[in-house]
Structure 1
Amino acid sequence: MPFDPARVTTVTFDSYSTIVDVEAAEEALADRVPDPEPVSRLWRSRSLAYTFIANAVDAYKPFYEMNRDALQYALDAHGVALSTDERDEILAVYHELDVFDDVREGMNRLYDAGYDLYVVSNGNPEMLASMLDHAGIGGLVEDTVSADEIRTFKPDAELYRHAAARTGTPIDEIAHVSAAYFDVYGAMHAGMQGVWVDRDGGPWDSFAGEPDLTISSFHDLREKLV
């Protein structure tokens, strides 16, 4: 369905890979792991896989715990032995990930234009509070909506419906912005308009259709909503 800016009153944003750069976690591994890139990538992919499995078999745990399990698996898979304290020091980087350059100005323009802004994330509330603080966007965001509130992860439609209820917005008046293809699909399936952030110019996963809108940065979104 073509993007319909006239319907949008609220904009929700994913957190990790959309507002903050999870690839920055590789830096936390660099002092302890000989080849940090594959460990970092396996860590991230495993943490996402755990959320999908948890939804399917009703095995919810807070995302921080799943992320810890995924990090341990990635270290084990690459033969890296670290103490619990060292592992937890690496894991703590999720509280201070680098914010993408376009985020603050892009969100500020939407805020000034009168849109209500929210974060909808798999992250648990403590993670999201520290992310907003570190990213410097707490004053722009009305609130955060965590998967922890209903104990189910993206792309379950129930999380997006819960987010709509929490924002007090009809679900078809929400544009959900994410760099993750499965998150965009989940939002669209639930009734939101899906906006894919393609900062790297990569291919879209088109097995289930196209996003309602594709943008290359947060700067583009204000123009698309005019």
Structure 2
Amino acid sequence: MPAFDPSRVEAVTFDSYGTLVDTAAAASVLEGTVANPDAVAREWRENALFMSVVAGPLDTYETYMELHRLGLADALRAAGRDPTDERLRELNAVYHELAPYDDVAGAFTRLDAADYAPSILSNGDPAMLTSLVETTGIETTVHEQVSADALETFKPARALYEYAADQLDVQPTHVAHVTAHWMDVQGAQNAGMQGVWLDRGDAPWTAYGGEPHLTVDSLATLCDRLFD
């Protein structure tokens, strides 16, 4: 895989869930409901991700919020719980309130000041992204909020990355896409973007497919590489 080339970058896009906000924080609403909230929260998230990948080949679409509700239902049933729809929606609402990582607001400020048009490219639907922008404190520094809902197709579909580049009025080759998820890195690179893996320490890089153009352990490190 070619090395990361900061001189090519005109815009920087970011994944959202697991990259800008901590999805593990969803475990807080499961306390008192299941014996192992952390494990069930991970399964909840993984179920929703798996459903989003399956949706494309099946030509089906539900909003990302709805996929998380369905993913939560499966995770709770696997844990021996059978909540009502109303209770599922109450619990699922935590995805509007997830805690941001502490390097997010500062990185967006630095990138905005340097004219990199920091933007979000997410599976999240518009309502989810509105909440995320508020909780992360990037209201004045984020440029575009590109949602899979616009095309009704999820990552890693090439069309979604190309659409994001169009919204930013740049070629995909001039975009660096930053994400904590290997599938998203490879999706971006397949569309011609430079893929940046943000290693949040959750899991090692996958054995499947190619390597990222760049690996960083924080968004501050990403900014340092761009500004070298």
> Scaled by the length of structure 1, what TM-score is found?
0.97
Distance 1:97 1:177 in 2: 19
1:74 maps to 2:81: no
Identity %: 43
Query: Which amino acid in the other structure matches residue 115 of structure 1?
Result: Y
- Is 2:157 the counterpart of 1:156? yes
Shift of 1:166: 0.9
TM-score with structure 2 setting the length? 0.96
Deviation string for 1:200-225 (max 9, x for gaps)? Answer: 17421132111000000000011111
RMSD over equivalenced CA pairs, Å:
1.1
In structure 2, do the counterparts of structure 1 residues 201 and 130 end up closer, same or farther at CA, with 3 Å as the change threshold?
closer
Label 1:201 to 1:42 Cα distance change in 2 as closer, same or farther (>3 A): closer
Query: Partners of 1:51 and 1:84 in 2: how far apart?
Result: 20
Aligned counterpart, 1:132:
133
Output the CA distance in 2 between the equivalents of 1:222 and 1:66. 33
Deviation at residue 82 of structure 1 after TM alignment = 2.2
Partner of 1:94: 95
Letter in 2 for 1:156: A
User: In the aligned structure 2, how far is the partner of 1:150 from the partner of 1:30?
Assistant: 36
Q: Which amino acid aligns with 1:200?
A: G
Q: How does 1:56-75 map to 2 (within 5 A)?
A: 56-75=57-76
- Post-superposition offset of 1:86: 2.1
Do 2:23 and 2:98's aligned partners in 1 also have CA atoms closer than 8 Å?
yes
SS at match of 1:195: strand
Q: Which amino acid aligns with 1:71?
A: L
- The residue aligned with 2:8 is 7
Gaps of 5+ in 1: none
For residues 9 and 32 of structure 2, what CA distance do their matches in structure 1 show? 45
Shift of 1:108: 1.3
Deviations 1:7-41 (A, max 9, x none): 10100000000000000001111132232122111
Q: Are 1:204 and 2:205 an aligned pair?
A: yes
Distance 2:196 2:89 in 1: 34
Quote the residue 2:122 is aligned against. Answer: 121
Q: Are 1:43 and 2:44 matched, yes or no? A: yes
Task: Give the Cα separation in 2 of the matches to 1:90 and 1:143.
Answer: 28
Q: Residue type of the partner of 1:108?
A: T
The alignment covers a number of residue pairs equal to 226
**Structure 2 counterpart of 1:22:** 23
Give the secondary structure class of the aligned counterpart of 2:25.
helix
Runs of 4+ in 1 over 6 A off after TM superposition: none
Q: 1 CA distance for matches of 2:224 and 2:41?
A: 35
* Equivalent-residue separation in structure 2 for 1:206 and 1:137 (angstroms): 34
